[in-house]
Amino acid sequence: MRAKRGEKVQVKIKNALGEESTVHWHGMHLPAKMDGGPHQMIDPGAAWTPRWTVDQPAATLWYHPHPHGGTEKHVQRGLAGMFLLHDEKSDRLALPEKYGVDDLPVIVQDVKFDGAKFDHGHKMLSDTGFLGNRTMVNGTLGPYKEVGDELVRLRLLNASTARIYDFGLSDDREFALIGTDGGLLERTTRMDRIRMSPGERAEIVVRMKPGERTTLRSFPNDSYGDFWSKRFAGGDDPFDVLELRARKKLRTSPELPAELGELEVPDGSESVRGRFFGLRTSGINGKKMQMSRIDETITRGTVETWTVRNEHSTPHNFHIHDVQFRVLEVDGRVPPVELRGAKDTVFVPGNTSVKLAMRFDGPADPDTPYMYHCHLLYHEDLGMMGQFGGRRDGREGEQGSYTARTRGPLVT
Ligand code: C2O
Ligand code: CU
Ligand code: CU
């Protein structure tokens, strides 16, 4: 799907599955009732029609089911797509933008087969969730793409449930990083590897020479900490993800702009409140997700800084609904370039802390909460998730008691 900032969007979703599910707009700033989280379940055979106005910068967002306790199962079976946003500013920049020509969606999921059938089982001794032994791009095995332009933009999405990738090109050539989860970076940056945990996006631009081939690959990496967690979480595995085959003659592409514009995420200087989130597979801040409990009450319109600490050696990440954040620090230090753009999901390696700044905008909704959670979907399903709700005024709230809605605005 594709929309421009300022446009009104309405999507009709019909659930043709034999079980209930939802569709969540990952990275989208929108009213809680339209969010598609576990409070907006769609019954089998029913339809749900959320509507909202797009009000955020150009970005590569995505959508996927979010049924309470069943997200891994639904996403792993392929329910994931992209929602691309553009705006006046991005339309003026000389970036590759012909969809499917020089601007390619690259949705990466790892899979495993048992003969001709999918095998969705977890590996023994793996505490991160499902790990496949090969990858698919946009639902295709062994994919390649013939390209006819010098510059090719890849919109990378790690839509895997647990796998962390370290993407680069097979010949180690550099690429340009232009965007992260929530939109374009301030300036184009060159690099040769980018690490992405589940749910994260990156927009990269690759320069091609006539007639050549190169492969987007995921390299073995140490994202998983010590030797044993690395072994069992699959950090040793390399994957060939997507082959690019350049035509004999290529269209010339304009040079990439060096400056891409200002970020719309706060730098933390106006923060009115800090919060702490301790991550363990057993829960966040010692608690498992409960649909009927709001864990954090937030005053709409304010900036906060959240410190998220992975308290053991299992890899986790952290995703917040509705907002984009800025990563201020990783273990007290300035974050690497790929974490300096707008983010909604951030990798938090074992025994590491990240400090984030975000602004909570939009109308307060005392009845429907948003979620924050680990986006390793098995962990999310186990209850590594909490809920936040908005309040209108500046009074500090104790944890509110709250009655969960289990059905959103249903239209059948
Ligand atoms: Cu990608 Cu709570 O979601
Ligand atoms: Cu989300
Ligand atoms: Cu986790």
Are 82 and 181 spatial neighbours (Cβ–Cβ below 8 Å)? no
Does domain 93-261 fall into CATH 2.60.40.420?
yes
Classified by CATH at the fold level, domain 1-87 comes out as Immunoglobulin-like (2.60.40)
- CA 147 to ligand 2 centroid distance, Å: 32
Name 72's Cβ contacts closer than 8 Å, sequence gap at least 6: 129, 130, 161, 377, 378, 380, 381
Residue type, 41: M
Distance in angstroms (rounded) separating the CA atoms of residues 355 and 372: 15
Are 268 and 274 spatial neighbours (Cβ–Cβ below 8 Å)? no
Write down the pTM of the prediction. 0.93
What pLDDT was estimated at residue 222?
Answer: 74
What pLDDT was estimated at residue 406?
Answer: 37
Residue nearest to atom 1 of ligand 1 (CA): 26
What pLDDT was estimated at residue 37?
Answer: 97
SS3 readout for 81-127: EEEEEECHHHHHCCCCCCECCCEEEEEEEEECEECCEECCCCCCCCC
State the alpha helices, DSSP H only, in 322-402.
377-382
Distance in angstroms (rounded) separating the CA atoms of residues 349 and 327: 14
Residue nearest to atom 3 of ligand 1 (CA): 26
Burial class (CB in 10 A: 0-12, 13-18, 19+), 33: middle
Name 146's Cβ contacts closer than 8 Å, sequence gap at least 6: 245, 246, 247
* pLDDT, tens digit, 9 for 90 and up, residues 21-46: 999 999 999 999 999 999 999 999 99
Ligand 1: atom nearest CA of 385 is 2
What pLDDT was estimated at residue 92?
Answer: 97
State the alpha helices, DSSP H only, in 182-226.
none
- CA 56 to ligand 1 centroid distance, Å: 18
Are 158 and 197 spatial neighbours (Cβ–Cβ below 8 Å)? yes
Q: Which residues lie near ion ligand 3 (Cβ < 5 Å)?
A: 316, 374, 376, 379
What pLDDT was estimated at residue 366?
Answer: 76
- CA 232 to ligand 1 centroid distance, Å: 24
Ligand 1: atom nearest CA of 380 is 2
Say which ligand is closest to the CA of 197. Answer: 3
Residue ranges of the chain with pLDDT lower than 50? 393-412
For residues 231, 232, 233, 236, the Cα torsion angle rounded to the nearest 10 degrees is: 20
Cite the residue boundaries of each domain of the chain with CATH code 2.60.40.420: 1-87, 93-261, 271-396
b/e per residue 256-282 (b: at least 16 CB within 10 A): beeebbebebbebeebeeebebbbbbe
- CA 66 to ligand 1 centroid distance, Å: 7
What pLDDT was estimated at residue 226?
Answer: 64
Report which of 266, 301, 289 is spatially closest to residue 390, judged by C-alpha positions: 301
The CATH number corresponding to 271-396 among 2.60.120.10, 3.20.20.70, 3.40.50.300, 2.60.40.420 equals 2.60.40.420
- CA 26 to ligand 2 centroid distance, Å: 4
Pocket of ligand 1 (CB under 6 A): 24, 26, 64, 66, 199, 319, 321, 371, 373, 375
| Distances from the Cα of 409 to the Cα of 54, 65, 364, angstroms | 19, 16, 18
